[in-house]
Amino acid sequence: MEFETVMQELEALGKERTKKTYISNGAHEPLFGVATGAMKPIAKKIKKNQQLADQLYSTGNYDAMYFAGIIADPMKMTETDFDRWIDGAYFYMLSDYVVSVTLAEADIAQDVADKWIASGDELKMSAGWSCYCWLLGNRSDTEFSSSKISAMLEQVKNTIHTSPERTKSAMNNFMYTVAISYVPQHEKAVEIANEVGPVEIKKDKKKSNILLCSEKIQKDLDKGLLGFKRKYVRC
């Protein structure tokens, strides 16, 4: 399928109400307002196509960028490609739900995520922590260094309350994911979540969100979800 055809099909699927929702979450023009589920029939026809994914991502159109993540071939992407994608991710729905998800299916995921976490840039750090959430929630525990995950939990404990807002949210998810999906550090994650306590996420012109990771962990432990792994990272 050609680039122009995909753009036309996405535009035809756009809805004003969906567009307004995306904009309220931080998206900006250009965008069509396509519900993610509505993209699946086009994705089925294309499957994976990295060249087309790069073309779509470079448009700056939110819907095209999101769709690029669905059809990307992460194993064909280099560190330079991922850096280019994260540089183009202008808000959290792109950094945490497109770029980090795509990165989580690449062999270089941990190396790139580590670099982003150390960058000091809010959305890169957020994407790096989010990538670990996708990784830990999908891959075998044996693919990770237990001491490394332990050190990352310490980093969360020491820096979460002073980190940028989106990074805070991703770090909070990291604590939760380790507690539920990475059994070797389950106890430490629970302990740290209790020490961290409530995390305030400030929002522009909106009421702050208060995240309480320890409560969320306990709810899912009560449901018997310890050791839970997703079958797929990308839908």
Q: Where are the domains of the chain?
A: 1-72, 93-235
Residue in 146, 149, 150, 99 with CA at minimum distance from that of residue 121: 99
Question: What amino acid occupies position 159?
Answer: T
Residue in 142, 1, 7 with CA at minimum distance from that of residue 62: 7
In this structure, what are the phi and psi dihedrals at residue 110, rounded to the nearest 5 degrees?
A: -65, -40
pTM, two decimal places: 0.95
> Residue 225 CB: number of other CB atoms within 10 A?
13
What pLDDT does 205 receive? 75
- At residue 215, the 3 state secondary structure works out as helix
Cα distance between residue 84 and residue 96, in whole Å: 15
pLDDT tens, residue order, the chain (235 aa): 799 999 999 999 999 999 999 999 999 999 999 999 999 999 999 999 999 999 999 999 999 999 999 999 999 999 999 999 999 999 999 999 999 999 999 999 999 999 999 999 999 999 999 999 999 999 999 999 999 999 999 999 999 999 999 999 999 999 999 999 999 999 999 999 999 999 999 987 778 999 999 999 999 999 999 999 999 887 5
Q: Which residues are paired to 200 by β-bridges?
A: 210
Contact by Cβ (8 Å): 69, 234:
yes
